[in-house]
Amino acid sequence: MQGDTFLHRLDPRTKIIGCIALSAVILSRYDVVIAAVETGFLVAAYALARIQLRHIMKRLRVLWLLLLVSFLFQSVLTEGTMWLEIAGIEITHEGVIKGVITVDRLLVLMFSSFLLTMTTPPIRLASGLEKLMSPLARIGVPVHKFAMLVSLALRFVPVMNEEAELVARAQRSRGAPLRSRRIRVRIRSMAAVLIPMLSGSLLRAGDLAVAMEARCYSGGVHPTRTRSLRYGREDWISWGAISLVPLLAMLRSM
């Protein structure tokens, strides 16, 4: 997503490490305070990036089932004081609290990665990954090829989404029961979408390989870039804000 906000101008390395730091802390500590602090941190970050709520909800449409199942499993399987009983299934008070924290942790993981991809162009994201992984090149790891793969994958995600929507509309117009209420029928009918998508992706991959060969791409170790990565004042401010989260986790563990 194009923009000229504080987060959009940050160096991609700052955003990548920030995303990793938030994810590592939320996974390492099952703490209400840390979950609340990271949630507030992300809310402030989305406000700074001026990302509208409708853009976020579009990405959550396919993830709501995962969040619901996670909440229900924690509510039912966690032992404690019974809060509610439905059809012989006991839901405990401790389970509900744990389920809410679990959902919040999953949302932090999802929204931190969303924020990274929505505020960083694929080229700059690949450049940041290549810079961060550059020490691995000394032991023979093809860092530049990995960065190129990440860049191509990110560029093809919206293309594949649009193609999937077009194929689904075409199959529904031909009578495919893609919106059937029976889960088994919907799963079987998905083959009518997946097979054309697979065929189309293979054709695109072949066209891309031909285009790269025509432009004499050889995957050199030192590719040229139109814009070099440099840390600025905004990055140092962000580093200070990001460091507060692991510092809080360390203080909570004492």
| Tens of pLDDT, residues 37-69 | 888 888 888 888 888 777 677 667 667 778 888
Question: For position 224, what pLDDT does the model report?
Answer: 60
pLDDT at 153 over 70: yes
7-16 as b/e, with b when 16 or more CB fall inside 10 Å?
bbebbbbbbb
Q: Which residues pair with 19 in a beta bridge?
A: none
Q: Which amino acid is at 207?
A: D
Amino acid at 239: W
What is the pLDDT averaged over residues 117-146?
Answer: 82
The pLDDT mean for the chain works out to 80
Q: Which pLDDT does position 1 carry in this prediction?
A: 54
Q: What pLDDT was estimated at residue 62?
A: 66
Higher pLDDT pick, 179 / 238: 238
Please say if the pLDDT value at position 100 is more than 60.
Answer: yes
Task: Write out pLDDT tens, residues 166-179.
Answer: 877 877 787 777 66
CB 17 within 8 A of CB 242: yes
Reported confidence tier of residue 223, pLDDT bands at 50, 70, 90? low
pTM for the complete prediction? 0.74
**Mean pLDDT along residues 26-43:** 84
